[in-house]
């Protein structure tokens, strides 16, 4: 038998098989699409039906794209879970020892996981984002509120939705590798994304608002907006900040994953 080398490509291919051969992957993918598209449609429907009763200011603040993609905030939960599970279940089951005997270079293994997860999350994120967009705009169009994919800033926002969910999956992968327990990692990810903003609310007026803009969820979801708002950073700037958080978490994850005993 020719002694073929274990390569990064081999590690990626192995991770690809691994992630598709547990049921949780398909379930989280399926529920991501259903939840994001379903909730976006419901919210669009609620807005459209109550449009007549809204005041001038509320109508002025209306961003058909951001409102139509609001359901993506719930896709954050399911893709976050997918990212955490991709690494945490290996620790809880003992599989990590087997995986590392096959791919003993730690960074190679974690990088392979990140690549596979990013590809899947990007595909699911884009499908969810585009489907949520078209569904919600169809509903807004009942009152001529909708916009088209060709309108300014729209394609960027909808594509950005897929990118945002990809970063969510990756930051969750990092959290899973750091915390190594499924429940703990999911709690920390959702805690930072959904609970941290509450603290911003209690900070004094001026810099409370500034802090809020830089908190992970607000920064990350800025990419979904097509109108300037006082509570978010400009789209790419916000996305860049969130990408920075993701990079930081992954960096810590790689360092710890290389160092720790398994």
Q: Which of 34, 42, 45, 100 binds another protein (CB under 8 A)?
A: 100
Q: For residue 5, state whether it binds another protein (rule: CB under 8 A).
A: yes
Q: For residue 13, state whether it binds another protein (rule: CB under 8 A).
A: yes
Q: For residue 120, state whether it binds another protein (rule: CB under 8 A).
A: no
- Shortest spacing between CB 119 and another protein, in angstroms: 16
CA-to-CA distance for 180 and 197, rounded, in angstroms? 25
Between 98 and 210, name the residue whose CB sits nearer to another protein: 98
How would DSSP label each residue in 204-239? Answer: -HHHHHHHHHHSHHHHHHGGG-SS--TTS--HHHHH
- Shortest spacing between CB 23 and another protein, in angstroms: 6
- Shortest spacing between CB 198 and another protein, in angstroms: 35
| Residues 122-137 as b or e (16 or more Cβ within 10 Å = b) | bebbbbbbbbbbbbbb
Q: For residue 98, state whether it binds another protein (rule: CB under 8 A).
A: yes
Count Cα atoms within 13 angstroms, Cβ side, for 170. Answer: 28
Count Cα atoms within 13 angstroms, Cβ side, for 65. Answer: 26
Segment interacting with another protein, rule: CB under 8 A, options 101-109, 124-132, 157-165, 198-206: 101-109
Q: For residue 117, state whether it binds another protein (rule: CB under 8 A).
A: no
CA-to-CA distance for 19 and 145, rounded, in angstroms? 41
What are the residues binding another protein (CB under 8 A)?
A: 1, 3-7, 10-11, 13-15, 17-18, 21-24, 89-90, 93-95, 97-98, 100-105, 259, 261-262
């Amino acid at each position: 038998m020719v002694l073929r080398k274990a390569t990064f490509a081999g590690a990626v291919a192995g991770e690809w098989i691994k992630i598709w051969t547990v049921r949780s992957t398909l379930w989280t993918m399926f529920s991501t699409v259903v939840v994001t598209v379903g909730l976006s449609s419901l919210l669009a429907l609620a807005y459209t039906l109550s449009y007549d009763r809204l005041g001038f200011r509320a109508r002025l603040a209306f961003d058909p794209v951001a409102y139509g993609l609001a359901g993506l905030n719930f896709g954050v939960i399911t893709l976050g879970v997918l990212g955490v599970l991709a690494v945490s279940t290996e620790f809880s089951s003992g599989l990590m020892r087997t995986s590392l005997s096959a791919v003993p270079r730690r960074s190679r293994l974690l990088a392979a996981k990140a690549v596979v997860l990013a590809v899947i999350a990007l595909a699911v994120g884009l499908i969810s984002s585009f489907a949520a967009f078209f569904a919600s705009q169809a509903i807004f169009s009942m009152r001529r509120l909708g916009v088209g994919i060709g309108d300014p800033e729209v394609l960027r926002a909808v594509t950005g939705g897929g990118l945002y969910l990809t970063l969510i999956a990756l930051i969750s992968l990092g959290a899973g590798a750091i915390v190594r327990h499924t429940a703990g990692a999911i709690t920390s990810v959702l805690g930072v994304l959904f609970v941290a903003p509450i603290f911003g609310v209690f900070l004094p007026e001026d810099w409370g608002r500034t802090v809020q803009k830089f908190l992970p969820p607000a920064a990350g979801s800025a990419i979904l907006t097509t109108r300037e708002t006082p509570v978010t950073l400009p789209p790419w700037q916000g996305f860049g900040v969130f990408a920075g958080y993701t990079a930081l978490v992954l960096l810590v994850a790689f360092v710890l994953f290389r160092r720790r005993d398994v």
